[in-house]
């Protein structure tokens, strides 16, 4: 009988932690690599999952207790050498969640690691994380993607800080604000200000019809 490849989904769950872009890892409970940190992942259930997106949502919820509001397919990683159990295919996704969403995670289920400090993970998970980070950083340079890492209401300073943490670089405040004004994907939350060390700052939210806005790559 012809052997079929092992088919799984793996999710790169990204958030902000200690002012850095971080990935959530879980401890493997079975061989191979039992006891090591790896991406949350699992087998595709052909009787239960209608498609790979449903598989990814199910696996993420089972492994972390989190329902990610933003989940996008990344790539498929396949080959005979990536899994010691045999020829395998991993359909990978990346998810973005605000740090507050991690409070809903299963107690002790995840470990947060800065994406630039993950080292060597089991299987080819280090390469999968690197691919997801490249995608997110590239897409963040021309879209509103980082907004998914923020709470529902935020200040413009918090928004810029989020972009900078994701992209790993400082942005010019004036040009950043001009770009935001031109795109018009934010709306002020009437009557809501955030107090701080300086004068109170206006709170904003993403317009419901503008959840992911793409702009030119000159920001």
| φ/ψ of residue 40, rounded to 5 | -65, 125
CB 155 within 8 A of CB 161: no
Q: Do 202 and 102 belong to one domain? A: no
| 125 lies in the same domain as 200 | no
- In a domain, residue 212? The reply is no
Beta bridge partners of 37: 27
Tokens of 180: 């935001």
Pairing status of strand 6-17 against strand 88-96: parallel
The pLDDT value recorded for residue 3 is 79
Residue 165 tokens read as 């943490």
Residues constituting the chain: 219
The continuous run of DSSP H or E covering 12 comes out as strand 6-17
Question: Is residue 48 packed enough to be buried (19+ CB in 10 Å), middle (13-18) or exposed (0-12)?
Answer: exposed
Let me know whether 73 and 132 are in one domain.
Answer: yes
Q: Which of 86, 118, 140 is the last residue of a domain?
A: 140
Range of the domain at 170: 145-206
Residues 82 and 158 in one domain: no
Q: What is the CATH number of the domain that holds 169?
A: 1.10.10.10
Q: What is the pLDDT of residue 198?
A: 75
pLDDT of residue 126: 98
Same domain, 21 and 88: yes
DSSP label of 52? H
Q: Are 151 and 169 in the same domain?
A: yes
> Tens digit of pLDDT per residue, the chain (219 long)?
567 899 999 999 999 999 999 999 999 999 999 999 999 999 999 999 999 999 999 999 999 989 888 999 999 999 999 999 999 999 999 999 999 888 767 656 899 999 999 999 999 999 999 999 999 999 998 889 999 999 999 999 999 999 999 999 999 999 999 988 887 889 999 988 998 777 899 999 998 765 566 555 544
* Same domain (yes/no): 189, 136: no
Same domain, 127 and 163: no
In a domain, 1, yes or no: no
Q: Is the pTM above the cut of 0.85?
A: yes
CB of 201 within 8 A of CB of 155?
yes
d(CA 196, CA 188): 18
């Amino acid at each position: 009988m012809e052997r079929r490849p092992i088919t799984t989904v793996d999710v790169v769950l990204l958030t902000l932690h200690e002012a850095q872009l971080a990935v959530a890892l879980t401890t493997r409970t079975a061989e191979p690599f039992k006891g090591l940190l790896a991406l949350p992942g699992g087998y595709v259930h052909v009787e239960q999952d209608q498609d790979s997106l449903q598989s990814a949502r199910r696996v993420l919820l089972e492994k972390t207790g989190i329902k990610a509001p933003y989940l996008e397919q990344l790539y498929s990683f396949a080959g005979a050498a990536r899994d010691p159990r045999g020829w395998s295919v991993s359909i990978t996704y990346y998810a973005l969640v605000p740090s507050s969403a991690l409070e809903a995670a299963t107690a002790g289920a995840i470990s947060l690691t800065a994406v630039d400090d993950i080292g060597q993970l089991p299987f080819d998970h280090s390469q999968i994380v690197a691919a997801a980070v490249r995608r997110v950083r590239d897409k963040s340079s021309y879209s509103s993607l980082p907004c998914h890492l923020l709470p529902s209401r935020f200040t413009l300073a918090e928004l810029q800080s989020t972009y900078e943490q994701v992209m790993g670089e400082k942005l010019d405040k004036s040009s950043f604000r001009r770009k935001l004004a031109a795109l018009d994907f934010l709306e002020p939350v009437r009557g809501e200000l955030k107090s701080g060390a300086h004068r109170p700052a206006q709170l904003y939210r993403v317009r419901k019809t503008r959840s992911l806005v793409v702009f030119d790559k000159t920001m």
